[in-house]
Chains A and B, each alone.
Chain A
């Protein structure tokens, strides 16, 4: 197809040639041409680093990073047998040493999973509550919705500051009342693993419930309102309407949202870094960040294990959703 208009032909010859060449491409060729920038960007910033991380995890590097030797899967073996624990910050470990509470909370893998499961569970419940409220018609709905969304938009460092300042031993006011209830350690709260993990989970729930709420709200609003009219005629109470219509119909949405959020929650790093420290609350991302400058192979192995765990979860999600995912 020729589109050589007068305006076009006044331009330089190279540009005209490029335009003409582009016009004559088949749909498939044109598609791959336009996807070029995406391929380059994702290739350079995602695919190459992922491969390279796997490569680094197969080598032991000298401390000055000048020489390296191939060790195969030794980094992984040592990671899972505890040989790498001495390189991790504080007294943290990769896998738990035994099944006592303190050993479990010192394990990066266990803490990451606890964080993801507990915070996503509470986010789902609170998000459902928020979504049910936002689904109603009431005066000022717009403002309530804005208020509920705002935490989602708060920068992680500021979210961290809020909770750091709330529970800090010098100015924080929230520690004594919660310590009286036995929920937090009364002193040195942010350096106590159990307390700091609890606070970080609360901080994450505060920030991310709104995200869950919006996903669930989309599910709620796609329900055919006629179903409720039928239920009313049949004399169903509000609770029965929820149990028999609303809940079953939004269950698939909730399922996808939960998996999606769990994968995201397993990346946790910033809130730990601001509220407490990686030596107190170990997460997988934390372990990568605190070791990669000195122990490249170890850090790469942890990073790749993290990626693999998430990769498996994602495969599950995609297999379950299939092409509906797109």
Chain B
């Protein structure tokens, strides 16, 4: 920022005047810096979405003709406009997206996978969160560290045996022996081959979030429910879980978004990018690329359609996301 004390402040230009007052009042400099930084972050964050929109509404015939950065005449000097602008306006692309590829079906697959995983994760992580948050027993710290450690391992470390098992060609053997245990059903291209790894992958974060929330419910409330005749499990699902609704919502939102965003297992376990074979949006968006011609405007339009659910979710549930990431993620 221009805070240098130079002698040119005599010239009384607007910048000089601002500089003069800034020296007398440094608060103004911080305020200006703050707005500059905020504008910078907003522009860099939102720009890629703007670019998708520019590309999506450009008619396909004009995609390759000329630059997206138009030349403009600024006070007689020809210069390049620094922001891409659409070459024409064709909102039709947002309809063609669904005609060319059944993109809605891919999104439906993603939704189904995300919802199923979220339900499994919430139920199983609730049991674990209850145990870690409310019970004292030998091995508690060791088990939590174990779950923590497993959650750090990369999906690549799990994928080879899982892919083989889900292919269902050979029986599972006891590791380090040839003793066959059982032959698994073929799960590739079915929800099972994705929901299982997703659940394991995203479960630890939910366990840690729910442990925190369940641990905060006063013992008296649980005891009261038990005196009323509720079973141990009933107390968890009828008293503790409803009282920790914000925590459950946090874990659910984070799990849903994580599954919707997942790439690794989504691209490997759905071996062909067909909606009928449970390929999620990963397969949907990439299938505009493997057509005879690469349809850039449709790829952009599909990306916008595909991102809308999570954008809405972030706007609606941002409090939950912030609290979940800050309370759970550091521990995970």
Question: Restricting to B33-90, which residues have a CB under 8 Å from any CB of A?
Answer: 34, 37-38, 41-42, 44-46, 48-49, 51-52, 55, 63-64, 67-69, 84
Interface residues on A, range: 35 or more
Interface residues on B, range: 35 or more
Chain B residues proximal to chain A, CB less than 8 Å: 26, 30, 34, 37-38, 41-42, 44-46, 48-49, 51-52, 55, 63-64, 67-69, 84, 123-125, 127-128, 130-131, 135-138, 140-141, 143-145, 147-150, 152-163, 175-176, 196-197, 199-201, 203, 207-208, 226, 229-233, 257, 260-264, 267-268, 281-282, 285-286, 294, 296, 299-300, 303, 306-307, 310-311, 313-315, 318, 321-322, 325-327, 329-332
Decide if A320 is an interface residue (CB 8 Å cutoff).
no
Question: A146-176 interface mask toward B, CB cutoff 8 Å, 1 = contact, 0 = none?
Answer: 1111110111111101110110101101001
In the assembled complex, the Cα of A138 lies from the Cα of B64 at a distance in Å of 43
Q: Which of A23, A142, A260 is the one whose CB lies under 8 Å from B329?
A: A260
Contact A156 B263, beta carbon cutoff 8 Å: yes
Tell whether A270 pairs with B163 under 8 Å between CB atoms, given A19-B231, A303-B157. no
Chain A residues proximal to chain B, CB less than 8 Å: 1, 3, 5, 8, 19, 22-23, 27-28, 30-32, 34-35, 37-38, 41-42, 44-56, 126, 129-130, 133, 136, 138, 142, 144-151, 153-159, 161-163, 165-166, 168, 170-171, 173, 176-177, 206, 210-211, 214-215, 217-218, 237-238, 253, 256-257, 260, 263, 266-267, 269-271, 273-274, 284-285, 288-289, 292, 296, 299-300, 302-304, 306-307, 310-311, 313-315, 318, 323, 325-326
Contact A129 B230, beta carbon cutoff 8 Å: no
Q: Which of A5, A129, A326 is the one whose CB lies under 8 Å from B41?
A: A129
Tell whether A157 pairs with B55 under 8 Å between CB atoms, given A215-B330, A260-B329, A289-B156. no
Q: Can you list 21 A-B pairs, Cβ within 8 angstroms, ordered by A?
A: A22-B231, A38-B124, A41-B196, A44-B196, A50-B157, A51-B176, A52-B161, A144-B42, A156-B282, A157-B282, A158-B306, A173-B68, A176-B67, A206-B44, A267-B154, A285-B154, A288-B160, A303-B157, A306-B157, A325-B145, A325-B148
Q: Which of B131, B152, B200, B332 is the one whose CB lies under 8 Å from A310?
A: B152
Contact B160 A56, beta carbon cutoff 8 Å: yes
Tell whether A288 pairs with B156 under 8 Å between CB atoms, given A133-B37, A155-B307. yes
In the assembled complex, the Cα of A168 lies from the Cα of B138 at a distance in Å of 57
Q: Which 9 A-B pairs have the closest CB atoms?
A: A270-B263, A218-B326, A45-B200, A307-B157, A52-B161, A49-B158, A156-B263, A162-B48, A49-B161
B262 to chain A: which residues have CB within 8 Å?
156
Q: Which of B125, B175, B322 is the one whose CB lies under 8 Å from A145?
A: B322
Contact B158 A46, beta carbon cutoff 8 Å: yes
B263 to chain A: which residues have CB within 8 Å?
155-157, 269-271, 273-274
Contact A149 B318, beta carbon cutoff 8 Å: yes
Contact A173 B321, beta carbon cutoff 8 Å: no
Contact B161 A48, beta carbon cutoff 8 Å: yes
Contact B285 A53, beta carbon cutoff 8 Å: no
B154 to chain A: which residues have CB within 8 Å?
266-267, 284-285, 303, 306-307, 310
Contact A238 B26, beta carbon cutoff 8 Å: yes
Contact A38 B203, beta carbon cutoff 8 Å: yes
A45 to chain B: which residues have CB within 8 Å?
158, 162, 196-197, 199-201
Contact B268 A289, beta carbon cutoff 8 Å: yes
Min distance, Cβ B255 to any Cβ of chain A, angstroms? 13
In the assembled complex, the Cα of A76 lies from the Cα of B282 at a distance in Å of 33
A42 to chain B: which residues have CB within 8 Å?
147, 150, 200, 203
In the assembled complex, the Cα of A69 lies from the Cα of B310 at a distance in Å of 48
Contact A50 B153, beta carbon cutoff 8 Å: yes
Contact B303 A158, beta carbon cutoff 8 Å: yes
Given contacts A162-B48, A271-B263, A273-B267, 20 further A-B contacts (CB under 8 A): A41-B124, A41-B199, A42-B200, A49-B157, A146-B318, A147-B42, A148-B41, A148-B42, A153-B311, A154-B261, A155-B281, A157-B281, A158-B281, A238-B30, A253-B330, A260-B332, A270-B264, A284-B154, A288-B160, A326-B145
Most chain B C-beta atoms within 10 Å of own C-beta, residue among A3, A22, A161: A161
